[in-house]
């Protein structure tokens, strides 16, 4: 460890010598730039993009060298204590080289090593100080980049895009492995975060509520199907046991936001400035727990009221009654209209003009007047249909559907209160996930996919910095 500087006349000290070498690299770069600029200015076939590429390439060695120098100095000044228990290390030795990839290229750091008598393990305290994981040959910035691109696109593409944009070369298999590992870290982080959110608050919620303007909390829930490969290769064995292999799994999705966080951009585009997202393959139970925690984080505990908007799926309303018993429930208006359309098609068949002339005013009545009025007209229609026909069967089923959801179709009152009547935001959330997770030819294992979904949600919820502390805090939902 070097704390005091030895004068150059007596051979100099390693940190100063390292900084001098770095200065030489910087000077070499500074000297090469004028020539680079001159050849760019003189080349009629080069635009600024050519210069940007060249300058970035030339500066790369300086950045790599600076990173290596800094990492070495940090390693040299890390006290020889166990990073787990704090005990002083014994049997210490120095100069243990470790080479790993950073975002500027490969660097080598020589670290000290010692034995912790309390943990009974050999330790390299510098590795902890630098944030190097136990096994991966990468600096912390690289896995963070791998994780992000892997949540946005298939790994083969992600590997190419990453190299094009940053120069970091991560082969497809390595990128896949790194993204999964980070996904598993994200899941390990989610558990305590959710537990913390659902634990009773240390303060009195009633006192806090007084200081806030009352707001409504909106929850939207949906699910979509994904192909999976959990049973790959086991088809024959399963069939012998009389079971059909599952070829699809549900991704349960929810979004949560405060009504007063809904607004419009200057251009008139509707936006929600702050919102939480949940997407999980851990079944309805997983969704119930994660959505509840997310809603609490977004202010459920202090909300004046809660409104749940979803389609007609039975499991959604069961979940709502179980976890959010005080919440008002609303059937997505557009799903209700689809059910009106089913009636229309059963009655009018291929006659498009009649179908439209019937549907439009009814859909308007449902939206601006009352569900009771619409149901009465459906019942009148049912009365007039000949018994035993398929049309009668369809309309009878739909009349039941409307009766079942009657209390969830208060669209007029909802609009008056400025509340959404459709589940557009959660459907948009599903679509965005589907772009990544539901591409043709892709099959996923449940474990791999839950890890990636967890990463994707960590990003969307603006909590990326909790997993990667070097990344500045920001919220993608605000953009």
Site string for Zn ion, 133-172 (x = CB under 5 A): ----------------------------------------
Q: Based on CB atoms, which residue is closest to Zn ion, 4 or 93?
A: 93
Site string for Zn ion, 29-68 (x = CB under 5 A): ----------------------------------------
Q: Based on CB atoms, which residue is closest to Zn ion, 65 or 113?
A: 113
Q: Based on CB atoms, which residue is closest to Zn ion, 121 or 356?
A: 121
Q: Which of 8, 30, 85, 234 binds Zn ion (CB under 5 A)?
A: 85
Bridging pattern class, strands 216-227 and 248-258:
antiparallel
Q: Based on CB atoms, which residue is closest to Zn ion, 82 or 320?
A: 82
Q: What angle is formed at CA 405 by the lines to CA 373 and CA 351, rounded to 5 degrees?
A: 60
Query: By CB neighbour count within 10 A (0-12 exposed, 13-18 middle, 19+ buried), where does 433 fall?
Result: buried
443: nearest Cα among 245, 244, 227: 227
Q: Say whether 61 sits in a helix, a strand or coil.
A: helix
Binding segment toward Zn ion, per CB under 5 A, in 45-53, 117-125, 370-378, 382-390 = 117-125
H or E stretch including 280? Answer: strand 275-280
In the bound complex, what is the minimum distance in angstroms from residue 125's beta carbon to Zn ion? 10
In the bound complex, what is the minimum distance in angstroms from residue 40's beta carbon to Zn ion? 55
Q: Which of 118, 360, 376, 403 binds Zn ion (CB under 5 A)?
A: 118
Cβ atoms within 10 Å of 52's Cβ, excluding its own: 11
Binding segment toward Zn ion, per CB under 5 A, in 10-18, 53-61, 71-79, 108-116 = 108-116
How many residues sit in the footprint of Zn ion (CB under 5 A)? Answer: 7
Site string for Zn ion, 183-222 (x = CB under 5 A): ----------------------------------------
Tokens for 71, please give them.
């990492």
Give yes or no for residue 124 binding Zn ion (CB under 5 A): no
In the bound complex, what is the minimum distance in angstroms from residue 118's beta carbon to Zn ion? 5
To 10 degrees, the CA torsion angle through 380, 383, 389, 395?
Answer: 30
Residues 6+ apart with CB under 8 A from 348: 354, 355, 358
Q: Based on CB atoms, which residue is closest to Zn ion, 85 or 195?
A: 85
Among left, alpha and beta (phi > 0; psi -120 to 50; other), residue 268 is left
Q: Based on CB atoms, which residue is closest to Zn ion, 29 or 89?
A: 89
Cα distances (angstroms) measured from residue 475 to each of 5, 86, 101, 458: 44, 36, 28, 10
Q: Are 256 and 219 in contact (CB under 8 A)?
A: yes
The three state secondary structure string of 440-474 is CCCCECHHHHHHHHHHHHHHHCCCHHHHCCCCCCC
Binding segment toward Zn ion, per CB under 5 A, in 80-88, 125-133, 151-159, 284-292 = 80-88
Q: Based on CB atoms, which residue is closest to Zn ion, 66 or 129?
A: 129
Binding segment toward Zn ion, per CB under 5 A, in 6-14, 114-122, 352-360, 366-374 = 114-122
Identify the bridge partners of residue 116 per DSSP, sorted by sequence position.
121
Binding segment toward Zn ion, per CB under 5 A, in 79-87, 234-242, 336-344, 356-364 = 79-87
Binding segment toward Zn ion, per CB under 5 A, in 31-39, 83-91, 149-157, 237-245 = 83-91
In the bound complex, what is the minimum distance in angstroms from residue 92's beta carbon to Zn ion? 14
Q: Which of 19, 55, 119, 399 binds Zn ion (CB under 5 A)?
A: 119
Cβ atoms within 10 Å of 363's Cβ, excluding its own: 18
Q: Which of 29, 71, 75, 82 binds Zn ion (CB under 5 A)?
A: 82
Cα 421 from Cα 374, distance rounded (Å): 17
Q: Say whether 304 sits in a helix, a strand or coil.
A: coil
In the bound complex, what is the minimum distance in angstroms from residue 84's beta carbon to Zn ion? 5
Question: What are the strands, taking DSSP E only, across 117-234?
Answer: 121-123, 216-227
In the bound complex, what is the minimum distance in angstroms from residue 119's beta carbon to Zn ion? 3
Q: Which of 56, 84, 161, 195 binds Zn ion (CB under 5 A)?
A: 84
Cα 38 from Cα 27, distance rounded (Å): 18
Residues making contact with Zn ion (CB under 5 A): 82, 84-85, 87, 116, 118-119
């Amino acid at each position: 460890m070097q704390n005091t500087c030895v004068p150059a006349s007596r051979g100099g000290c390693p940190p100063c010598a390292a900084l001098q070498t770095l200065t030489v690299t910087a000077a070499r770069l500074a000297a090469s730039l004028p020539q680079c600029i001159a050849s760019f200015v003189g080349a009629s076939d080069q635009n600024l993009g050519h210069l940007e590429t060249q300058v970035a390439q030339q500066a790369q060695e300086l950045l790599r060298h600076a990173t290596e120098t800094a990492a070495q100095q940090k390693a040299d000044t890390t006290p020889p204590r166990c990073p787990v228990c704090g005990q002083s290390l014994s049997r210490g030795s120095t100069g243990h080289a470790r080479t790993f990839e950073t975002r500027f290229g490969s660097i080598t750091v020589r670290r000290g090593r010692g034995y912790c008598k309390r943990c009974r393990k050999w330790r390299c305290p510098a590795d902890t100080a630098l944030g190097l994981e136990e096994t991966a040959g990468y600096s912390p910035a690289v896995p963070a980049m791998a994780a992000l691109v892997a949540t946005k696109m298939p790994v083969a593409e992600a590997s190419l895009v990453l190299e094009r944009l940053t120069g970091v070369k991560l082969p497809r298999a390595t990128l896949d492995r790194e993204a999964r590992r980070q996904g598993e870290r994200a899941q390990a982080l989610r558990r305590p975060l959710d537990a913390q959110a659902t634990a009773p608050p240390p303060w009195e919620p009633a006192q806090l509520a007084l200081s806030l303007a009352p707001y409504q909390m909106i929850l939207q829930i949906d699910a979509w199907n994904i192909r999976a490969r959990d049973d790959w290769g086991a088809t024959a064995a399963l069939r012998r046991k009389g079971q059909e292999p599952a070829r699809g799994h549900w991704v349960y999705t929810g979004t949560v936001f405060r009504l007063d966080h809904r607004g419009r951009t200057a251009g008139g585009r509707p936006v929600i400035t702050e919102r939480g997202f949940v997407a999980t393959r851990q079944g309805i139970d997983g969704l119930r727990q994660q959505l509840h925690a997310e809603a609490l984080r977004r202010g459920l505990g202090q909300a004046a009221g809660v409104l749940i908007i979803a389609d007609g799926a039975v499991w959604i309303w069961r979940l709502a009654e179980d976890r959010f018993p005080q919440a008002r429930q609303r059937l997505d208006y557009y799903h209700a209209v689809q059910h009106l359309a089913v009636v229309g098609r059963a009655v009018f068949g291929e006659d498009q003009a009649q179908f439209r002339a019937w549907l439009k005013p009814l859909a308007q009545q449902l939206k601006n007047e009352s569900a009771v009025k619409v149901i009465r007209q459906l019942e009148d229609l049912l009365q007039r249909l000949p018994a035993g026909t398929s049309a009668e069967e369809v309309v009878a089923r739909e009349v039941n559907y409307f009766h079942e959801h009657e209390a969830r179709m208060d669209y007029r009152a909802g609009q008056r209160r400025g509340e959404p009547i459709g589940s557009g935001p959660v459907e948009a959330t599903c679509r965005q996930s589907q772009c990544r997770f539901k591409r043709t030819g892709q099959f996923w294992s449940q474990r791999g996919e839950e890890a990636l979904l967890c990463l994707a949600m960590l990003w969307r919820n603006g909590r990326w910095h909790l997993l990667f502390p070097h990344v500045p805090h920001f919220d993608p939902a605000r953009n």
